[in-house]
Structure 1
Amino acid sequence: MAFIKTRKKIVSSAIASSLSVIAMNAVAQEQVTTLETIHQDVQAEQKQSLKVDKSANTKYVAPLLDTPKSVSVISKQLIEDTQVTTLSDALRNVPGITLGAGEGGNPNGDRPFIRGFNSESSMYVDGVRSATSQNREMFAVEQVEVTKGSASAMGGAGTTGGSINMISKVAKKGDSLEGSVGAGTDDYQRITLDGNKDFGNGIAARVALMGHHNNKAGQGDDGAEYARVGIAPSITFGLDTPTRATVSYYYLKSNDTPDSGVPYQYDTSKLVTAGKPVDVPEGIYYGWKNRDFQKQENQIGTLKLEHDLTDNLTLSNVAQYSNSKNNYVWTQPDDSQGNVAQGEVWRRSNSKITDTNTFTDQLSLTGKLNTGSLVHSFNTGVEYSKQDSDRGGYTLNDTTANGSNPNSGTSQWNVKPGGTLGACANSGMGIGADSNYWCTSLNNPNSNDPWLGSITANPKTSNVTTKNTSVYALDSIKINPQWILDLGIRWDKFETNLNNYTTNKSYSSDNDFFNYQAGVTFKPVENGSIYASFATSSNPIGVDAGDGSEGLSTPGGRGPTEEQAIANNNLKPEDVHTMEIGTKWDLFNEKLNLTATIFRTEKTNTRATDTDGYTRNIGETRVDGLELGVNGNITNKWAVSAGYTYLDSTIVDDGPKDSNEGNQVQNVAKNSATLWTTYAFTPSFTLGAGAVAMDKVYGDAANTKFVPGYVRYDAMARYNVNKNVDLQLNVNNLSDKRYFTKAYASHYATEAEGRSAVLSVNFKY
């Protein structure tokens, strides 16, 4: 807690100081700036759009209008309007994405599902894979690009349902200084600064800074708490010259009290959890603040070199080294023992220690050339990466008055009773001091109960190393003004090695595979396109290097281990393909973009648990869908970003479990929609409103555990004090709707934040 308390003081002092400086500067600006000039600058600023025409990823060799794929871009303007601070919050603006909870003892971090498929290891920073489990921040991000559908030809292994690429803030031409100071409900405090200096002679430097603290809205001081700091400097040489170099560094450190979730209801007749989360007071928190923690540290160092061989040909190389640490002990409100039926919750502990180092090098040649009447826009290259992940955990020791250890898997605490008693009552202890506070009240838990046990770190019990070597070629071929052919192919060699230091055994998996994409685009007019495409993906063992939730797990805590599964089966990569037909249109003088697509994604060769408990490639899932989108300006004053996604997901083959076949795929919402719109009533005053709607989401393949559907509303008001400073009020979850964002497969669901309000002072110079 010392880190959090110290960080709160630092952020509070920074906010107070910055507010004073900005206020004095605003007064000075008002004294020297005429009203007419203010209006002109404000109008110019409002022209910044929610519409993005070109991807910052060089693997998109054509404008998005002419790209036969579904790509959703969370623009810089949308990030500023909604004041989102984390990637999970930002992805709320993209329909068709649901968030998953960390499975069992796997790392607790961002786990998005795109079109129904786990994309935790399909995260990228400036086109470089960032597969580690972490809670990502937005302070150093310009925009977020979400590719939907199979995309291994572009992104490599994984990318089954799509991928997420975060574009970093790096040094650029011109001088600028911008930032934000915010304070709000639930002890919200945040300050960000982003300064860019152009030194001339092609040299520029930039640095982004951030300090943040907040309690989880609705839980007050007795619930989850988040504190973090970050810095992202960069320097570029050779701006506007044929040879350019950019050196950048990213650092983020967080120290959180994690959220514990809400247990599902308990079916006493079947002695299993079932249904939706149990009906308890909103904002309830079962965590143990004197025990629980999550500490993360992420560093990324990047060197990018570019050289223009000709006006239409560029050779570039990106070398990146990263380190990611994710350590935690947190409370899972486990009701596998029937405690909820007795009005109790057992504070089961989940823990993890991961330390992952990754090196990636990407060499590419991009450009344009003509072969006869055909115009090629292409990107071809080779990539190499090595990810080395040490895994461990914490041992929690605690002995109660009757000599039992609540954290022992062999004690009566962890044995399902034969009747209706939960583990707490079955132990003869119960709530409070008798159980050393491992048992707490279902309706009135005390998060400040004392922790009487000890915690011992075991930082390196196993190691997973993955190596990936690949060669790819992407080409957009303009046949004539009406027809464009999109082609791509990629070969990957993917090696995984797992060393278990407890058993002194090693296991390996070695695969190579081809993936491709092919699409054709017809342009009846310059501002419109109609396309059809087909693309594949491969999901090999070890795609997350063990630092995530996409690896093999021990079924139900019993059965074979991950090592045995690999050793006995030599599992092949899962095969995925997407067929898609869509259309894109730029309207209103290209200020507004409309999109529509229908698609089918099928995963075959899916890993599933066989009758003997081993994992084999014996399953199949399918998702059919429809997506609609609109982004940009309807008028100069009215901007909108909206989307709708329909996903018809089916478990076609669940291996030997015929009872699950035909069920809806877990972590998929059948219907989801997002809306964000702003209207500038005057050159100085803008109002915004948004909504997010999502259907029921199942946590398990049996479709017995779920979180209900919901609609959430947000609002924003912004007043431009002058051309440099504005005041912005964001109210999130306006109606204080109680809903759940994540459905865990077995025990619990994650409750969303309640209503919150943040007032920010934003400045740009």
Structure 2
Amino acid sequence: MAKTTLAVSISTAMLMPLAAHADNGADTAAAEKDEKTGSVIILGKRLDPNPNAEQGAAYKAKTSADSRHTRPIAETPQTISVVTKAAIDDSGLTDLKQILGAQPGVTLGTGENGNAFGDRYIIRGQEARSDVFVDGLRDPGMSTRESFAIEQLEISKGPNSSFAGRGTAGGAINAITKQATLDHDFTRVSAAVGSDSHHRVSTDINKGFGENFALRANLLDAKEDVPDRSPSSRQRQGVAISGLYEASKDLSVTLDYYGLRTHDKMPDLGTYLSGTVPNRVAVTNIPVYAQQSDFLKSDVDTGTARINWTIQPGLKLTSLTRYGKSSNAYVTTGASGGTRYDGATGKAYTTSYIDSGHTGWQDIDYFAHQSNLRWDKQLGGLKHEFIFGLEYTDHQVVSGNYNLNNSGFNCRSATGNATSPFIGPNNALCFTNSAGVPVANLSTLAVRNVQRLSWNQDWRVKTTSLSVMDTVDLSDKFTAFGGLRADYFDLSLVRRNNTTDVITGSYGYNDTLVNGHFGLSYKVAKDAIVYASAATAQDINGGEADAGTASGYGGAVLYNNQIAGAKPETSTNLELGTKWDLFDHKLLATAALFQTTKKDVMEGANYDTIGTFNTGKNRVRGIEFGLVGNFTENLSGQLGGAFMNSKVLASATASNLNNPLSNFAKQTYSAQLKYQATDAFSFGGTARHESDRCGGQPDTGAAVTGGVCQQPVPAFTVYDAFASYRFSRRFDLRLNVLNLSNKDYYTAVYRAGFFMYKGDARAVRLTLNYEL
């Protein structure tokens, strides 16, 4: 799109200083006069470079960035929650784990099975750690993810395999990245300081060169101590570069590079559960017990090529090709508590103690291509919007672990010979001695020699997919959507002993998955619909790259030392909903009743050579509602809530029957409101709530005995506040206070209770945003 004189003039006008309007009564009167005469007055608001934004409603997205959604979000028969960049910025949250954890229907999990790779999301009770997409392509790297290069986050709720392929039992997360644009030039710099040694500097620069080429660069440097948990710290560096070549109005090519380096030093695993059922509680005031040699690192490098080609009116090709490499590595320490012994005297005492450590590394190599051909055609007197899709992916994950030679033992566990079981060489690492005196330096308690071992697992999946979708107006009131997708995959898994290099197992199989999605909407008013939809999704045997043969976590179910002939786990979602686009499309109200049933669940009764497969079944029912956009001229926000129940309907373990799913919160809701008090000053706040949850193994139900949870996570409500003042068109200042009441709360628990992630304590951030 060429920049005309008019476009440049409008862009310049849109950056007029808000403060000038606030302070000049004559200008205000003139503005009122011009409004009466129909003149257009721009009050210094930024032109949003996000092409999917609803202009004039910063928190509301008009369309999905996924071209397969041919209608606006308000007309799509599915629950899709969108978090815009404006909402992210106002919230003060930066990591995707923080942002998504605040969304209704989404909870967080811990690194299960001793695995601490990246972030773990749970949508409507179903695992989604591998169901994260970037611009519509699956991101197989289970890394720590950042928001600096994100334009908006789209969370599709309910099974979604017709769009996203295998997995997606509870939904999918699609991160939409910032792209170069020819619409206007800008340079924005944000610099933040705060409590806990927080600093964060980011830039967003877009520049057009002539009529056909634009370049956009986003840079990030950030570091902070974990609030109230120093010396645990987080560090993020990133770069995202996007180059756009617009050969004509019908053909454009975009090339992107994305690089991110994250490094958590002495990552904090929080606290642990103590006591016996029904009195299991989180240990409070526990010191930071992470060891100096502990770390959590993630490196990501990806390159993406995009082609948008309007072949002829009504026929458009959208093509994406990506190659990427990423690596994850960690050494972490968990803690527990109980009885330990003085090795010299055999004296028993109660203390906290650290474990021997958890380790792992991954090298991920992936290639993906997706082409979607949209064909708008009148057939049989009806308007059809066809999408024909072709996708090929090749994802490989090679992983291993580290050898930790622990020493520095200062207490003894209950092991030893028959005559003196409590006296002998120390073999444990305790917070205190038998007199209750804390160790001098807890972070150096374990003397460790960290040695990276060679690989012990090579996981690879190649997938070829074909899909067809159609949105058709059956009448001026009824619109139908139908989608069908077939995924042919070939999975291989090689396991070996990484100390002897002996292959211990080589497994593989292939299959074809077929899934569908159907929706029917009825327009009850000009901008309001009611709809019904049905969709399916399938998880494959061994589909989780990080789980190996731990079948209870999505790893391969084995039988007689071969991949078991298990059926795919199949999820079916039924949904009834309504969407109302109000106030001249500035506010979207949604509500949906849903039921997701998952059958043929691979439970994994054992974690060795024999698994239990296709014996489980579970169900989630609930209602979700949302409001996003402008409530009044000065009040905007995003509100939502999900109220759900889950139930295990079938299981190989009788005690699991009727239990809720693990890490499942029956109630989650959040609200983010912003009030524009004057043209220059705005303020707002957020609140998020999660009801109590119970830990356990995915799919097989929460760890409940006699109706009492063994690994409880208590309910919590957390409040944040923010305020912003625009001094001129060039800069504004924003203050964020996170966890305003400094509440102790916990976001997830390990299935055995050995560690329990603690939410961040109060943190204060002051951010200067400057436009050059």
Pick the TM interval, shorter chain. 0.7 to 0.9
Residue equivalent to 1:593:
588
Tell me if the contact between 2:551 and 2:602 (Cα under 8 Å) persists in the aligned partners.
Answer: no
Partners of 2:20 and 2:383 lie apart in 1 by: 56
Partners of 2:307 and 2:433 lie apart in 1 by: 55
SS of 2:525's equivalent in the other structure is coil
Residue equivalent to 2:227:
217
Residue equivalent to 1:744:
750
Q: Counterpart amino acid of 2:726? A: N
Partners of 1:702 and 1:276 lie apart in 2 by: 12
SS of 2:141's equivalent in the other structure is coil
1:474 maps to 2:469: yes
1:133 maps to 2:137: no
Residue equivalent to 2:528:
528
Residue equivalent to 1:286:
289
The 1:322–1:394 alpha-carbon spacing in structure 2 relative to 1, beyond 3 Å, is same
1:388 maps to 2:396: yes
1:234 maps to 2:242: yes
The 1:669–1:753 alpha-carbon spacing in structure 2 relative to 1, beyond 3 Å, is same
Partners of 2:552 and 2:316 lie apart in 1 by: 50
Partners of 1:377 and 1:76 lie apart in 2 by: 29
Tell me if the contact between 1:92 and 1:692 (Cα under 8 Å) persists in the aligned partners.
Answer: no
Q: Which aligned pairs between 1:479-558 and structure 2 lie closer than 5 A?
A: 479-502=474-497, 503-504=502-503, 505-544=505-544, 546-547=545-546, 552-553=549-550
Tell me if the contact between 2:201 and 2:221 (Cα under 8 Å) persists in the aligned partners.
Answer: yes
Partners of 1:745 and 1:365 lie apart in 2 by: 45
Offset at residue 98 of structure 1 (A):
0.2
Q: Counterpart amino acid of 1:537? A: A
Partners of 1:338 and 1:98 lie apart in 2 by: 35
Residue equivalent to 2:568:
573
The 1:748–1:291 alpha-carbon spacing in structure 2 relative to 1, beyond 3 Å, is same
If the length of structure 1 is used for normalisation, what is the TM-score?
A: 0.87
Q: Which aligned pairs between 1:91-490 and structure 2 lie closer than 5 A?
A: 91-173=100-182, 174-219=184-229, 221-222=230-231, 224-238=232-246, 241-257=249-265, 258-267=267-276, 276-281=280-285, 284-288=287-291, 290-334=292-336, 342-399=350-407, 429=426, 446-449=441-444, 451-490=446-485
The 1:643–1:436 alpha-carbon spacing in structure 2 relative to 1, beyond 3 Å, is closer
Tell me if the contact between 2:56 and 2:586 (Cα under 8 Å) persists in the aligned partners.
Answer: no
The 1:338–1:741 alpha-carbon spacing in structure 2 relative to 1, beyond 3 Å, is farther
Partners of 1:240 and 1:439 lie apart in 2 by: 78
Residues 674-683 or 497-506, more deviating? 497-506
**Identity in percent:** 28
The 1:82–1:562 alpha-carbon spacing in structure 2 relative to 1, beyond 3 Å, is same
Residue equivalent to 1:44:
45
Tell me if the contact between 2:124 and 2:158 (Cα under 8 Å) persists in the aligned partners.
Answer: yes
1:66 maps to 2:75: yes
Q: Counterpart amino acid of 2:367? A: F
Q: Counterpart amino acid of 1:763? A: Y
Partners of 2:94 and 2:423 lie apart in 1 by: 44
Tell me if the contact between 1:207 and 1:233 (Cα under 8 Å) persists in the aligned partners.
Answer: yes
Q: Counterpart amino acid of 2:311? A: L
Partners of 1:751 and 1:181 lie apart in 2 by: 27
Partners of 1:667 and 1:176 lie apart in 2 by: 43
Residue equivalent to 2:635:
638
Tell me if the contact between 2:539 and 2:568 (Cα under 8 Å) persists in the aligned partners.
Answer: yes
Runs of 4+ in 1 over 6 A off after TM superposition: 28-34, 36-40, 336-341, 414-418, 435-445
- The structure with the greater share of residues assigned to helix is 1
Partners of 2:379 and 2:339 lie apart in 1 by: 69
The 1:426–1:141 alpha-carbon spacing in structure 2 relative to 1, beyond 3 Å, is farther
Q: Number of residues paired by the alignment?
A: 710
Offset at residue 113 of structure 1 (A):
0.4
Q: Counterpart amino acid of 1:622? A: R
Residue equivalent to 1:674:
670
1:400-441 deviations in Å (ceiling 9; x for gaps): 579xxx9xxxxx8597999xx9x9x78763876xx7999998
Offset at residue 156 of structure 1 (A):
0.3
Tell me if the contact between 2:399 and 2:456 (Cα under 8 Å) persists in the aligned partners.
Answer: yes
Partners of 1:274 and 1:134 lie apart in 2 by: 36
Offset at residue 184 of structure 1 (A):
0.4
Q: Counterpart amino acid of 2:221? A: G
Residue equivalent to 1:757:
764
Q: Counterpart amino acid of 1:678? A: K
Offset at residue 446 of structure 1 (A):
4.2
Q: Which aligned pairs between 1:652-691 and structure 2 lie closer than 5 A?
A: 652-655=649-652, 657-691=653-687
Unpaired runs of at least 5, structure 1: 1-25, 268-272, 407-411
If the length of structure 2 is used for normalisation, what is the TM-score?
A: 0.86
Tell me if the contact between 1:578 and 1:599 (Cα under 8 Å) persists in the aligned partners.
Answer: yes
Offset at residue 543 of structure 1 (A):
2.8
Tell me if the contact between 2:259 and 2:302 (Cα under 8 Å) persists in the aligned partners.
Answer: yes
Q: Counterpart amino acid of 1:44? A: K
Partners of 1:494 and 1:341 lie apart in 2 by: 55
The 1:764–1:705 alpha-carbon spacing in structure 2 relative to 1, beyond 3 Å, is same
The 1:386–1:725 alpha-carbon spacing in structure 2 relative to 1, beyond 3 Å, is same
Residue equivalent to 1:89:
98
The 1:763–1:367 alpha-carbon spacing in structure 2 relative to 1, beyond 3 Å, is farther
Tell me if the contact between 1:628 and 1:645 (Cα under 8 Å) persists in the aligned partners.
Answer: yes
The 1:85–1:363 alpha-carbon spacing in structure 2 relative to 1, beyond 3 Å, is same
Residue equivalent to 1:699:
695
1:593-626 deviations in Å (ceiling 9; x for gaps): 1100000001100011348952311101110010
Q: Which aligned pairs between 1:603-642 and structure 2 lie closer than 5 A?
A: 603-610=598-605, 614-642=611-639
Residue equivalent to 1:8:
none
Residue equivalent to 1:21:
none
Offset at residue 719 of structure 1 (A):
0.4
When the two chains are superposed, the root-mean-square deviation of aligned CA atoms in Å is 3.2
Q: Counterpart amino acid of 2:173? A: I
Partners of 2:517 and 2:703 lie apart in 1 by: 34
